[in-house]
Each structure stands twice: as C-alpha cells, then as structure tokens.
Amino acid sequence: MTPSQVAELLTMASAFDRRTVGKTDVMAWHLVLRDVDFEQAQTAVAAHYADTRDWIMPSDIRHRVRKQREQAAADIQGPGLPAEIPDADPDDVPAYLAALRAQRTRAALGESMRPRPVAELLAGVGREVPTPEDAAVTRVRSALDVRCPYCHAPAKRPCKSPLGRRLGQLHPSRFDAVKAAQAQQGAA
C-alpha cells in the first residue's frame, strides 16, 4: 500500500470515528501496513466498523486481512470442503503441488478462480505420464520462479516496495511473467 492509499484509508476511518489525520499518522500507519493490499484493507475497515464502535488500529486491519485471506484459501480445499482440482496433472507430483499452491495463493489474494473448460481437461487424456527423468527438465512452477518485471526482484526473492522493503505479496505483473514463461515452455 502506498502512503497516499494509507491516507485514503485513514480518511475512510475518520468518517466513522472522527479522528484527525496528519502526515505523521499516514507515515506511521504506512510503516505497519505497507505490505497489505489496499482493497482488502478498505474491506477490513468497513467490516470493523460494521462490528464495533472502537477505533480501528493497524493491527486490527492486518488481523482482518489475514482472516479474509485464510477464509478465501480455505474455501478452495480443506477439511469438509469440496476440493477444487488444480490446473495440473496429479501424476506429475511437483507440478500438481505447485499448481495447488498457486491456486490457494490466487484464492487468498481474491483473484478469480475460473473453471477449466471440458475440452481443456480432455486434451490431457491419453498422454504419457511423466517419468523421474522428466522432472529434471526445468519448468516454471510459481511466480517466485521468475524475476519480477515491476520491481526487478530476482527469482526466488519476494517483491519489493519502491522504498526497497520486502512486500508480503507479489506484484500482478509477476504472475503475468509466469504465464508467459509457461507459454514459452509449452511452445518449445
């Protein structure tokens, strides 16, 4: 979240609790909320004031956002819940686990979960099951396997804010880079 988004968030909170917001407030809140998604933080503020009359603090926002993400990811697959099928062949264990992790990450971030068309699912029927030798072939498994085109964070490293601080989430352009890398590997 940028400082201007934090200011907007504090302005939203002040509409409920009539607090005064200054530059120091914005900078202090930004230190705590810089890695929180702005839309999720807005939802957390609205939910907080729908439940209580207490002033909201940054920890309240972080707690509510964490709960939102946990619930979104738990709805994908969990005890007693219907299992969504990841976009990978279950016989290719590393790819299947990577697809499952990516699916839960997309759900936690609130991204859309599209059902796969039947024709796409049937396209894999009858193809060869990968062997352990095939596992040696390099393949992109997650967004952390590519360099971020937005903040230039290297592969296997988290994305960075403009101030160089580590973010708790990845930039959307990194997910686009994964799709492009997978498309290139599929064409090769």
Q: Which long-range contacts (CB under 8 A, 24 or more apart) does 23-32 make?
A: 27/3, 29/58, 30/1, 30/2, 30/3, 30/6, 32/58, 32/59, 32/62
pLDDT per residue as tens digits for the range 67-108: 888 877 665 554 444 456 666 777 778 877 887 787 777 777
Look at residue 123 and tell me whether its pLDDT is greater than 70: no
- What is the per-residue pLDDT for 153? 86
More confident residue, 65 or 184: 65
d(CA 132, CA 120): 25
Q: Can you tell me the distance from the alpha carbon of 112 to that of 72, in angstroms, rounded to the nearest whole number?
A: 11
